[in-house]
């Protein structure tokens, strides 16, 4: 199987509907070049991603000629009893009798306990034994330490999908590099999502862009090949939204070459430029949240603010902090006494409330 997969979360749209004709062309070109991996999920494009892949791929190609991944997303089930009907609904939406890869979606300390309470992993293992899933895995958004906990507790997990890109390799919150190390330690092959970091690594600052493009290769080329160059990574996904984007990506992934030493050095220079932006020096140690009476999501808020500083607000996914948002800080100052980095947390939160609000 080739190591480049088609993420189906940002398909081209036409008047509020998926542009089916364009997706058919994208699927055809992808398959023609020998790529076979497609990744969808029930919530993608409000359920339209699954239906589109049924029409553009499943109904037009023999089942054994492609590899289809889908996910169990927490917003669609509340109890153990709801998991199997949801799974059947997803099979039906995609028009298949089995999924090659099936993932517990977006696992983190916020979502994982619910999957445990509902026996989601155990049900996944049963579905695998019944032949309805070929490989059971998870997609992950938390620290390396938390990934280690899940992999220890759930040995039925066969593979892990992680956020992995050169900008986040050493990032305190995303911990790309450390998460990959955990996958390797547990012998779990990794799939990469967001190698271009939601477009931010394509739309780089001019100085950084020049370093990469002066070598005759695009920023996307560097970002995707970077992710695919590490041992333990067997698949890199890209959420492609046009035939043009797909053509560009398959041109450099069809005869994949890992980054050369010179290319890794060019990426290091780009990372230096991104890292030179002044950010909040939060290490995500979470000492502050242990003492905060309002349970403000301080490290996550700072991570979001740092991403905005580095990549611009348009490239940053801003989560819902709800009650834990910066505007709910009562300025008691307890967090600042606990912070080993001596961050002026109250001032930073006030700034964050203005920008994120
Ligand atoms: S100053 Fe704000 S963030 Fe810090 S501990 Fe008090 S309420 Fe929490
Ligand atoms: S204590 Fe300071 S460094 Fe640690 S998570 Fe909180 S703000 Fe970040």
| 251 lies in the same domain as 291 | no
Give CA separation, 163 vs 11, 140, 176, 272, in Å: 20, 7, 6, 20
How far apart (Å, rounded) are the C-alpha atoms in residues 287 and 279?
Answer: 19
**Which pLDDT belongs to residue 3?**
97
**Which pLDDT belongs to residue 314?**
79
Regarding predicted confidence, which is higher, 281 or 326? 326
- Closest protein CA for atom 6 of ligand 1: 332
pLDDT tens readout for residues 240-252: 999 999 999 999 9
**Which pLDDT belongs to residue 55?**
98
Q: What is the mean pLDDT of residues 89-112?
A: 96
Residue-averaged pLDDT of the chain: 95
**Which pLDDT belongs to residue 68?**
98
pLDDT at 117 over 80: yes
Domain range for 323 is 287-356
| 81 lies in the same domain as 230 | yes
pLDDT at 150 over 80: yes
pLDDT tens readout for residues 254-263: 999 999 999 9
| 188 lies in the same domain as 225 | yes
- Segment (H or E) for 348: helix 345-356
- Closest protein CA for atom 4 of ligand 2: 285
How far apart (Å, rounded) are the C-alpha atoms in residues 124 and 66?
Answer: 21
Domain membership flag for residue 133: yes
| 84 lies in the same domain as 194 | yes
Ligand that lies nearest to the alpha carbon of residue 305, given by its number in the listed order = 2
**Which pLDDT belongs to residue 302?**
94
pLDDT at 312 over 90: no
Domain membership flag for residue 275: no
Residue found under tokens 């067997």: 234
How far apart (Å, rounded) are the C-alpha atoms in residues 147 and 12?
Answer: 33
Q: Taking the CB of residue 336, how many other CB atoms lie within 10 A of it?
A: 16
pLDDT at 317 over 80: no
* Ligand 1 pocket, CB under 6 A: 292-294, 296, 298, 329-335, 345-346, 349
Give CA separation, 21 vs 11, 86, 218, 239, 322, in Å: 11, 28, 27, 17, 40
Ligand that lies nearest to the alpha carbon of residue 294, given by its number in the listed order = 1
**Which pLDDT belongs to residue 316?**
81
Q: Residue 10, SS3?
A: coil
pLDDT at 124 over 80: yes
First to last CA, the chain: 45
pLDDT tens readout for residues 35-73: 999 999 999 999 999 999 999 999 999 999 999 999 999
Q: Look at the chain and report how many structural domains it folds into.
A: 2
Ligand that lies nearest to the alpha carbon of residue 346, given by its number in the listed order = 1
**Which pLDDT belongs to residue 89?**
98
How far apart (Å, rounded) are the C-alpha atoms in residues 244 and 189?
Answer: 30
Confidence of residue 320 (pLDDT cuts 50, 70, 90): confident
pTM of the model: 0.84
The domain boundary, picked from 270, 303, 318, lies at 270
**Which pLDDT belongs to residue 307?**
86
Q: Is residue 349 in contact with ligand 2, taking CB distance under 6 Å?
A: no
Q: Residue 1, SS3?
A: coil
């Amino acid at each position: 199987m080739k190591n480049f997969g088609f993420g189906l979360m940002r398909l081209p749209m036409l008047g509020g509907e998926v542009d089916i004709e364009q997706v058919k062309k994208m699927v055809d070109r992808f398959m023609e070049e020998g790529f076979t991996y497609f990744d969808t999920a029930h919530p993608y494009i409000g359920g339209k991603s699954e239906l589109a892949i049924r029409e553009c791929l499943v109904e037009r190609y023999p089942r054994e000629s492609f590899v289809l991944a889908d996910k169990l997303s927490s917003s669609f089930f509340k109890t153990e009893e709801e998991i199997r009907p949801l799974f059947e609904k997803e099979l039906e939406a995609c028009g298949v009798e089995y999924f090659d890869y099936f993932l517990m979606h977006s696992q983190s300390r916020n979502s994982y306990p619910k999957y445990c309470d509902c026996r989601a992993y155990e049900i996944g293992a049963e579905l695998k034994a019944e032949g309805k899933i070929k490989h059971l895995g998870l997609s992950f958004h938390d620290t390396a330490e938390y990934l280690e906990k899940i992999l220890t507790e759930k040995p039925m997990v066969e593979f892990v999908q992680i956020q992995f890109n050169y900008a986040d390799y050493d990032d305190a919150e995303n911990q790309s590099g450390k998460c990959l190390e955990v996958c390797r330690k547990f012998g779990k092959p990794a799939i990469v999502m967001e190698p271009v970091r939601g477009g931010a690594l394509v739309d780089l600052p001019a100085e950084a862009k020049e370093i990469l493009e002066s070598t005759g290769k695009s920023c996307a080329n560097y970002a995707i090949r970077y992710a695919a160059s590490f041992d333990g990574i067997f698949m890199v996904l890209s959420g492609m939204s046009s035939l043009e984007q797909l053509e560009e990506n398959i041109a450099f992934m069809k005869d994949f070459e890992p980054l050369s030493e010179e290319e890794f050095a060019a990426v290091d220079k780009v990372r230096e430029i991104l890292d030179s932006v002044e950010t909040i020096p939060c290490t995500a140690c979470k000492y502050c949240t242990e003492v905060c009476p309002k349970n403000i999501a301080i490290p996550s808020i700072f991570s979001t603010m740092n991403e905005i500083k580095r990549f611009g607000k348009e490239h940053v996914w801003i989560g819902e902090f709800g009650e834990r948002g910066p505007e709910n800080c009562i300025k008691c100052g307890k967090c600042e006494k606990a912070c080993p980095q001596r961050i002026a947390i109250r001032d930073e939160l006030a700034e964050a409330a203005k920008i994120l609000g």
